[in-house]
A and B are shown apart, each in its own frame.
Chain A
């Protein structure tokens, strides 16, 4: 708890690592693979607790993904972890060994977005959602806070089929209430409003909620929806928001091509076509900087999101 009684912010990679240890106790079929990043992906706690069920495959992600597929085909529930960008670098192994081989591998791509900061573009997962979304049978989950991460990991132990879990390096403010229950495939309305709907995912949900508070001071009423399950996406909730608020602003720490924005546009085009503004990394490379400076630069902090929303509502 922070001094004011609000829960402390927790990175989703930390919430993932802790949940994995808890679930490892109950589920002997859970195994974990990593590619020399166990300190960064937070699988190290599991490795220490269950060394016989942890496999450090070295800096060889293609082999790691294939070994995870084989473990799954022989009845295990593998969590296969690396930075999101290094997973997408082995897209063919995800496509063939994990999806087309009908496995239950859970890929955990950490260090997503420009929010990883100083390491720069080579370590930033910025195209992973777009690539994973194109694969039949693949599900994609990006939790927005500690509670949602724990719920998602618990859900994934039982999920049928392959899945991609996107986690963050940066700490995430609590956006869900105590007692929150994760529901796969269901979006969560966190604030109601009538002028536009801000649809966010993962690390941008907290800033989007704060942006809605800033907009309220200017007399702009913003609904905020958290899409933690990007595939399959909650079309009903999005269509209702489109019908009721007429404008949709998507916000993500990912390329605006093929990510959450793309998924929302595709879902609404057929059901409830309205104006959609896609906000995120605008088809450019990320760069080095502090996470805060980068969120300000790409207008992904509360002030930046509010400014984009104001322009959108004003018809600019």
Chain B
């Protein structure tokens, strides 16, 4: 599958709006994990605006595709994409991490439409996604399930229990994406506890494995299409990403794993993102302005 020109342009331009809203919310909260939200953002946008069958106005539609954010600390990115998709008002975003807000510091599924599982203790969302995929198989395979895990998260033993179990059930309705941004809280993943060669490990576990640039919309959408076309095996996408992607002073920096930008840093980030966005000509009327997921 290839995205057409207007769609691609709309996705690329919206990517800046999403990053700005995301960082603004984290700054308003005064705490959070900006680096891992920016590395995940382009994949999340592609899921919700291109790939998944969703009905934001009917969030409990039984046949909706499911998304589980196993790396729960990146949830501001997911909140932002959900708000832009129409699940709830963008006005909620600045309430992130405030007392009484449904936008908890890590996902709580019973508080907010579009959040499919409560995560934040690493390693657990992968298994939950497998359960959803199994349920779908029992009911005639009416929806697909997507899970995003982190590379630091993959040091958890449960990830490997889960990796072992999905191929047993031939879950070709399951697609797991690794946000491979190569940095965790204490330093680089290679130094803290190396997980490479990750793709080889997953191949050895009997997965259909794809490796892509996690910031290239054509590659992301193409990988999801290939996952959908693959029968008999679950698909694992190793998405090579950049921690802090889009904000020059955050990119590749361990320090931005778990610290919110202050007022000046936010202003600098927003200025940089707006300037980059201005370099992309808006799409013609033919471009998509809202979610286009499947036949939803």
Chain A residues within 8 Å of B, Cβ to Cβ = 31, 52-53, 55, 57-58, 60, 62-76, 78, 92-93, 95-97, 100-102
Chain A, residue nearest B72 (CB): A96
What would 20 A/B residue contacts be, using CB atoms closer than 8 Å?
A57-B165, A62-B127, A62-B161, A65-B127, A66-B131, A67-B127, A69-B117, A69-B131, A70-B117, A70-B131, A70-B133, A74-B135, A75-B135, A96-B120, A96-B121, A97-B118, A101-B109, A101-B110, A102-B110, A102-B118
Per the bound structure, the CA–CA distance linking A69 and B128 in Å amounts to: 6
Q: Counting chain A CB atoms within 10 Å of each CB, which of B127, B134, B138, B139 scores highest?
A: B127
**Are B118 and A100 closer than 8 Å at their CB atoms?**
yes
Per the bound structure, the CA–CA distance linking A102 and B115 in Å amounts to: 12
Known contacts A31-B138, A101-B109, then 5 further A-B pairs from the complex at CB < 8 Å, ordered by chain A residue: A55-B134, A69-B128, A96-B124, A97-B124, A101-B118
Per the bound structure, the CA–CA distance linking A92 and B221 in Å amounts to: 35
Q: Which residues of the other chain, A, contact B169 by a CB distance below 8 angstroms?
A: 55
Query: In terms of DSSP, what is the predominant structure of the interface of chain A?
Result: helix
Q: Give min CB distance, B8 to chain A, whole Å.
A: 33
Q: Which residues of the other chain, A, contact B127 by a CB distance below 8 angstroms?
A: 62-67, 69-70, 93, 97
Q: Which residues of the other chain, A, contact B162 by a CB distance below 8 angstroms?
A: 63, 66-67
Per the bound structure, the CA–CA distance linking A98 and B12 in Å amounts to: 38
Q: Which residues of the other chain, A, contact B121 by a CB distance below 8 angstroms?
A: 92, 95-96
Per the bound structure, the CA–CA distance linking A64 and B129 in Å amounts to: 12
Q: Which of A52, A62, A74, A96 contacts B131 (CB 8 A)?
A: A74
Q: Which residues of the other chain, B, contact A92 by a CB distance below 8 angstroms?
A: 121, 124
Q: Which residues of the other chain, B, contact A55 by a CB distance below 8 angstroms?
A: 134, 169
**Are A96 and B119 closer than 8 Å at their CB atoms?**
yes
Chain B residues within 8 Å of A, Cβ to Cβ = 62, 66, 68, 108-110, 116-121, 123-136, 138-139, 157-158, 161-162, 164-165, 169
Q: Which of A53, A60, A65, A74 contacts B132 (CB 8 A)?
A: A74
Q: Which of B66, B116, B128, B136 contacts A97 (CB 8 A)?
A: B128
Q: Give min CB distance, A65 to chain B, whole Å.
A: 7
Per the bound structure, the CA–CA distance linking A28 and B249 in Å amounts to: 55
Per the bound structure, the CA–CA distance linking A93 and B157 in Å amounts to: 12
Chain A, residue nearest B109 (CB): A101
Q: Counting chain A CB atoms within 10 Å of each CB, which of B110, B124, B130, B165 scores highest?
A: B124
Chain A, residue nearest B163 (CB): A63
Per the bound structure, the CA–CA distance linking A100 and B72 in Å amounts to: 13
Per the bound structure, the CA–CA distance linking A227 and B108 in Å amounts to: 33
Chain A, residue nearest B126 (CB): A66
**Are A71 and B165 closer than 8 Å at their CB atoms?**
no
Q: Which of A60, A73, A76, A78 contacts B117 (CB 8 A)?
A: A73
Q: Give min CB distance, A64 to chain B, whole Å.
A: 8
Q: Counting chain B CB atoms within 10 Å of each CB, which of A60, A63, A95 scores highest?
A: A63
Q: Give min CB distance, B156 to chain A, whole Å.
A: 9
Q: Which residues of the other chain, B, contact A31 by a CB distance below 8 angstroms?
A: 138
4 smallest beta-carbon distances between A and B, as pairs: A70-B131, A66-B127, A74-B135, A63-B161
Q: Give min CB distance, B232 to chain A, whole Å.
A: 17
**Are B131 and A58 closer than 8 Å at their CB atoms?**
no
**Are B109 and A58 closer than 8 Å at their CB atoms?**
no
Per the bound structure, the CA–CA distance linking A72 and B135 in Å amounts to: 8
Q: Which of B62, B108, B161 contacts A75 (CB 8 A)?
A: B62
Q: Which residues of the other chain, A, contact B131 by a CB distance below 8 angstroms?
A: 66-74, 78
Q: Which residues of the other chain, B, contact A101 by a CB distance below 8 angstroms?
A: 109-110, 117-118, 128
Q: Give min CB distance, A186 to chain B, whole Å.
A: 27
Q: Which of A62, A72, A73 contacts B157 (CB 8 A)?
A: A62
Q: Give min CB distance, B279 to chain A, whole Å.
A: 42
Per the bound structure, the CA–CA distance linking A93 and B62 in Å amounts to: 25
**Are A62 and B134 closer than 8 Å at their CB atoms?**
no
Q: Which of A73, A75, A93 contacts B116 (CB 8 A)?
A: A73
Per the bound structure, the CA–CA distance linking A31 and B66 in Å amounts to: 20
With contact pairs A92-B121, A97-B117, A100-B118 given, residues A66 and B138 touching in the complex (Cβ less than 8 Å): no
Per the bound structure, the CA–CA distance linking A57 and B164 in Å amounts to: 10
Q: Which residues of the other chain, B, contact A63 by a CB distance below 8 angstroms?
A: 127, 130, 158, 161-162, 164-165
Q: Counting chain A CB atoms within 10 Å of each CB, which of B68, B125, B136, B161 scores highest?
A: B161
Per the bound structure, the CA–CA distance linking A65 and B132 in Å amounts to: 13
Chain B, residue nearest A102 (CB): B110
With contact pairs A66-B124, A69-B131, A102-B118 given, residues A52 and B138 touching in the complex (Cβ less than 8 Å): yes
**Are B116 and A67 closer than 8 Å at their CB atoms?**
no
**Are A66 and B128 closer than 8 Å at their CB atoms?**
yes
Q: Which residues of the other chain, A, contact B130 by a CB distance below 8 angstroms?
A: 63, 66-67, 70
Q: Which residues of the other chain, B, contact A58 by a CB distance below 8 angstroms?
A: 161, 164-165
Q: Which residues of the other chain, B, contact A62 by a CB distance below 8 angstroms?
A: 123-124, 127, 157-158, 161
Q: Counting chain B CB atoms within 10 Å of each CB, which of A75, A78, A95 scores highest?
A: A75
**Are B132 and A71 closer than 8 Å at their CB atoms?**
yes
Per the bound structure, the CA–CA distance linking A76 and B133 in Å amounts to: 12
Per the bound structure, the CA–CA distance linking A236 and B157 in Å amounts to: 45
With contact pairs A52-B138, A66-B124 given, residues A60 and B119 touching in the complex (Cβ less than 8 Å): no
Q: Give min CB distance, B166 to chain A, whole Å.
A: 9
Q: Which residues of the other chain, A, contact B118 by a CB distance below 8 angstroms?
A: 96-97, 100-102
Q: Give min CB distance, A2 to chain B, whole Å.
A: 42
Per the bound structure, the CA–CA distance linking A64 and B128 in Å amounts to: 9
Per the bound structure, the CA–CA distance linking A238 and B110 in Å amounts to: 34
**Are B117 and A71 closer than 8 Å at their CB atoms?**
no
